[in-house]
Every structure is written in C-alpha cells, then in structure tokens.
Amino acid sequence: MPVQVSLLTEADIPGAVSAIQQAFADDPYNNWVFDKSTFNPQRNAASLGIRCRWGMRNGIFHVAKEEGSNEVLGVACWLKPQPADQPPTWHDWIEGWRLWLNQVGMNLYYGRGGLNVKRYYIWKEAQAKAQSAVWTDPRGYYFLNIMVVLPKAQGKGIGRLMMEAVTKQADAEGMKCYLESSRDVPNMQIYGRFGFKFAKELECNDDGTAINLYAMVREPNAELQANGK
C-alpha cells in the first residue's frame, strides 16, 4: 500500500508516541539523560504527548501511514524558522507558559521519571552555544527536531517522504535547515543524502560522563547540488 505523509492529529498521538519511544529506546542521548533504573515509560509517554500537542499548534508535525491504515510508521517534527530580530509574540509567550504548566503538572503526578535534571540543563547549555555559533542566517532555520521510522518500515522511502515534505518548502523559500543527531554513524551519512553537512559537535559532559551530538545544516537546494542537478 502507498504511504501517505499527513499532519499529526489527536488520534495519531498514541501511535506517534509509541514510534518515538521505540526509536529512542537505545538512543545515546536518552541513555545519558535518563537513569534507566528509575525510568518511567508512562511518564515519558505523557511528556511526549505534551510535546506532540505543542508541536501540532506551533511546529510542523507529520506522521507517515499506509493508505487505509491508522498505524503510525514514521514521525517527523520541525520547528519553524524564527527571525533573529523578531521578538516573541503573545502567542509564543502563551504557548511557552502552557507548555511549562503542562510539564509541571506532569512532574507533580509522575515525578521526574528517571530524568537527570542536571544533565538535561548541561545539554540545553551545549545546544544554546552550538546554535549561537551555527545559526548565522538572521531569517532563521527549519529545525528538524524529531525524525523516526519504525524498524519494520525502514527501507521503504518513508524517511525521504517525511524529509522532503519540509525541505522542498524550505527550498522554495530559500531557507536553510538544521538538525542535531545523537549518532555520527550512520545518521550523518543518511542525513547527508538530503544535503545536510556537519557544522559543529556538541559535547555534553557531566563530570567525565559525556556524549557528543552532531549539528548539521542544509543549504537551500543542497540535495540537488549534491546530485549534480
């Protein structure tokens, strides 16, 4: 059956959360930022659900499903470009508080669920420094925040469909794209096929227990240029 990429709906959220949890179960960043001995999958699912709903309202959140099926095979979430000289809007302010309040309520109900808060903020600081150095275009970047395809659905071109749903839009607008990968191999090579190039390494170091993340940037029409078109 042909695969269709569509915007995330409320009905898709359980499947999207499940797909993300499966894809990141052994992710280097997740293994570093969560204590697996106290990890709470229910709390994690609630957190991802909150993020999904925020993404529906504020980002570009896609799911991939076979025609006629409700099973989510892939998930992609992009954050829209934010011009450097544009102050936060009232909508941004309200959405920020809404997200924060939802997270506070979740933490009160579930606790931290194994999240190492110190390491979370180490990552946020490293991310801020990397983006400050890499984001040189004042118009902003399409930020690929999540991209996952279920293992059983890989090799069917689903990742390409979800990627091109936004990169083609970015090309039409002459905008750059950005992502951060928690693996150099094979992720950087895979993203390279879509025109992304390595830009900066993020080191997240908690007193000697460290991971590296890899920032990549895609120029407009970079995939076409790479293929000589």
Classified as helix, coil or strand, 221 is coil
Specify the DSSP element, H or E, that contains 85.
Answer: none
Contact present, 16 and 63 (Cβ < 8 Å) = yes
Contact present, 30 and 92 (Cβ < 8 Å) = no
CA distance 7 to 71: 14
Contact present, 65 and 73 (Cβ < 8 Å) = yes
Contact present, 111 and 43 (Cβ < 8 Å) = yes
Residue 85: the pLDDT is 87
Classified as helix, coil or strand, 152 is helix
Residue 89: the pLDDT is 92
Residue 55: the pLDDT is 96
In 3D space, the residue among 27, 137, 38, 2 whose CA is nearest the CA of residue 82 turns out to be 137
Q: Give me the mean pLDDT over the 200-221 stretch.
A: 97
Give pLDDT tens digits for 58-77.
Answer: 999 999 999 999 999 999 99
Residue 11 burial class via C-beta count within 10 angstroms: exposed 0-12, middle 13-18, buried 19 and up: exposed
Q: Give me the mean pLDDT over the 91-114 stretch.
A: 95
Residue 189: the pLDDT is 95
Residue 1: the pLDDT is 78
Beta bridge partners of 90: none
Residue 226: the pLDDT is 54
Give pLDDT tens digits for 7-61.
Answer: 999 999 999 999 999 999 999 999 999 999 999 999 999 999 999 999 999 999 9
Residue 160: the pLDDT is 96
pTM of the full structure: 0.93
Q: Is the pLDDT of residue 225 over 60?
A: no
Classified as helix, coil or strand, 158 is helix
> Which residue blocks in the chain are alpha helix, DSSP H?
13-23, 28-33, 41-58, 90-110, 117-134, 158-173, 187-192, 222-226
Q: Given pLDDT bands bounded at 50, 70 and 90, which one contains residue 6?
A: very high
Residue 24: the pLDDT is 93
Residue 215 burial class via C-beta count within 10 angstroms: exposed 0-12, middle 13-18, buried 19 and up: buried
Contact present, 78 and 55 (Cβ < 8 Å) = no
Give pLDDT tens digits for 171-200.
Answer: 999 999 999 999 999 999 999 999 999 999
Percent of the chain with pLDDT over 90: 92
Question: CB within 8 A of 93, min separation 6: which ones?
Answer: none
Residue 125: the pLDDT is 97
